């Protein structure tokens, strides 16, 4: 059953907006509980246009980039920024900002889907693939906890960070990633709900056992596939 | 830069009214992390998020997490040592035997 619900590929989808401004601002003026209990029902969702790619179930389209945050925005100076991958044996692999920038860069264009029901299509980023960062790291781990400056955590299967599906992204739409959107750098894992794309990412802990992160421990889904609408535990 | 992306703890009254018989904004709480004791109304609540996150106004650690799904509500209070609510007895002291 799960495999039957396959959406269009989320990478490299390009579209033009045809929405009026009034509709957009109304849809974006939401709070968490509006989305969850269905107070907000964007009017443009009911009549799909044939030229539009389908959105995951229960999502609406936004042209803005809503800022969601569970705490204060950390300010991380680049000269002290680091990214560290820690394996299940305690081995550490570290990159400074300049070392990250010296790695091969990719420019993914992806659709992103927030569990609070907005989706944004065709966003462009620049960053370093997790394939590059994980290359040569000896591990038997199956799970990852991504952890962030400011204390946020989220868990993912390690396989979901491989295969050209995940990046440490530092540039958004051609400019430095703003702090409110996770800069200097955030995880970008667009095939899962966007809470998995940890803002202000500081490192990955590779683990042999799964361990729920911040929202997962609060009742959100362990995996979070938007095309299967895995929002909450039990979905 | 001041972070003004939070609301004060009084905004929790509505969402938590479904759960509690008492008004929590009049309650006092202790932060498990730093030990500060203060009115729950002074918590900093981040609501532009997949849930409500209440943080200590002193140390910014998470004191309260509230997630509402269509089918359930989960309240996680691991960051809170205690909650004290005003609750005067109808008869403050029983009379002598």
pLDDT tens sequence across A70-108: 999 999 999 999 999 999 999 999 999 999 999 999 999
- Angstrom distances, CA of residue A200 to CA of A9, A12, A73, A148, A227: 26, 25, 9, 5, 26
A189: tokens are 């894992």
Sorted by where each starts, the structural domains of chain A and their CATH numbers stand as: 82-217 (3.90.420.10)
In this predicted structure, which of A22-31, A72-81, A145-154, B23-32 has the lowest mean pLDDT? A22-31
Q: Is the CB of B48 less than 8 angstroms away from the CB of A73? A: no
Query: Does residue A27 carry a pLDDT above 70?
Result: no
pLDDT of residue B96: 67
Which residues of A are less than 8 Å from B55 in CB distance? 71-72
Which residues of A are less than 8 Å from B5 in CB distance? 67, 69, 72-73
CA dist B36 and B56 (Å) reads 8
pLDDT of residue B17: 86
Tens digit of pLDDT for each residue in A31-80? 444 334 333 334 444 444 555 568 999 999 999 999 999 999 999 999 99
Q: Averaged over A149-175, what is the pLDDT?
A: 98
Out of A36, A75, A218, name the one closest to residue B74 (CB): A218
CA dist A139 and A78 (Å) reads 29
In this predicted structure, which of A22-26, A144-148, A186-190 has the lowest mean pLDDT? A22-26
Q: Is the CB of B71 less than 8 angstroms away from the CB of A75? A: no
CA dist B44 and B7 (Å) reads 6
The answer to whether A232 contacts chain B (CB < 8 Å) is yes
- Contacts with B64 (C-beta within 8 Å, 6 or more apart), sequence order: B12, B43, B52, B53, B54, B75, B76, B77, B79, B80
The β-bridge relationship of strands B62-68 and B73-76 is: antiparallel
pLDDT of residue B18: 84
pLDDT of residue A53: 61
pLDDT of residue A93: 98
The most confident of A1-10, A89-98, B6-15, B81-90, by mean pLDDT: A89-98
pLDDT of residue B97: 61
Nearest residue of A to residue B7 by CA position?
A71
Q: Is the CB of B69 less than 8 angstroms away from the CB of A195? A: no
pLDDT band at A3 (very low <50, low <70, confident <90, very high): very low
Q: Is the CB of A32 less than 8 angstroms away from the CB of B49? A: yes
> Do A190 and A11 form a contact (C-beta atoms < 8 A)?
yes
In this predicted structure, which of A22-26, A67-71, A132-136, B10-14 has the lowest mean pLDDT? A22-26
What pTM does this model have? 0.81
pLDDT of residue A31: 40
Q: Is the CB of B67 less than 8 angstroms away from the CB of A218? A: yes
Q: How many helices (H) and strands (E) does chain B have?
A: 1, 8
Q: Averaged over B15-31, what is the pLDDT?
A: 88
| Strand arrangement of the beta sheet that strand B7-8 belongs to | B7-8, B44-46, B52-55, B62-68, B73-76
Q: Is the CB of A219 less than 8 angstroms away from the CB of B74? A: yes
Tens digit of pLDDT for each residue in B55-74? 999 999 999 999 999 999 99
pLDDT of residue A56: 97
Query: Does residue B44 carry a pLDDT above 80?
Result: yes
Phi-psi region of A34 (alpha: psi -120 to 50; beta: other; left: phi over 0): alpha
**Interface contacts A/B by beta carbons within 8 Å:** 73
């Amino acid at each position: 059953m799960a495999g039957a619900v396959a959406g269009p590929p989320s990478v490299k989808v390009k579209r033009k907006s045809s929405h009026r401004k009034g509709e957009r601002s109304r849809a974006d003026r939401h709070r968490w509980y509006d989305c969850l209990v269905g107070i907000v029902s964007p009017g443009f969702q009911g009549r799909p246009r044939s030229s539009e790619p389908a959105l995951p179930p229960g999502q609406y389209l936004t042209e803005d980039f809503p800022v969601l945050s569970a705490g204060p925005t950390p300010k991380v100076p680049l000269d002290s920024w680091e990214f560290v991958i820690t394996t299940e044996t305690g081995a550490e692999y570290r990159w400074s900002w300049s070392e990250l920038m010296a790695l091969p860069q990719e420019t993914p264009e992806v659709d992103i889907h927030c569990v609070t029901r907005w989706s944004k299509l065709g966003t462009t980023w620049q960053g370093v693939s997790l394939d590059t960062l994980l290359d040569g790291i000896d591990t038997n781990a199956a799970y990852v906890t991504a952890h962030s400056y400011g204390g946020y955590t989220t868990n993912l299967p390690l396989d979901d960070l491989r295969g050209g599906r995940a990046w440490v992204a530092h540039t958004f739409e051609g400019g430095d990633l703003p702090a409110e959107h996770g800069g200097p750098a955030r995880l970008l894992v667009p095939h899962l709900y966007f809470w998995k794309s940890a803002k202000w990412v500081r490192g990955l802990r590779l683990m042999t056992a799964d361990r729920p992160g911040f929202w997962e421990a609060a009742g959100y889904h362990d995996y979070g596939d938007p095309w299967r609408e895995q929002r909450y535990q039990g979905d | 830069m001041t972070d003004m992306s939070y609301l004060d703890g009084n905004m929790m009254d509505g969402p938590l009214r479904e759960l509690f018989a008492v008004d929590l904004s009049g309650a006092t709480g202790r932060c498990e992390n730093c030990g500060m004791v203060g009115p729950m109304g002074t918590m900093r609540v981040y609501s532009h998020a997949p849930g409500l996150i209440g943080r200590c106004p002193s140390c910014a650690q998470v004191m309260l997490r509230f997630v509402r799904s269509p089918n359930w509500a989960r309240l996680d209070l691991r960051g809170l040592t205690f909650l004290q609510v005003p609750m005067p007895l109808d008869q403050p002291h029983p009379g002598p035997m």
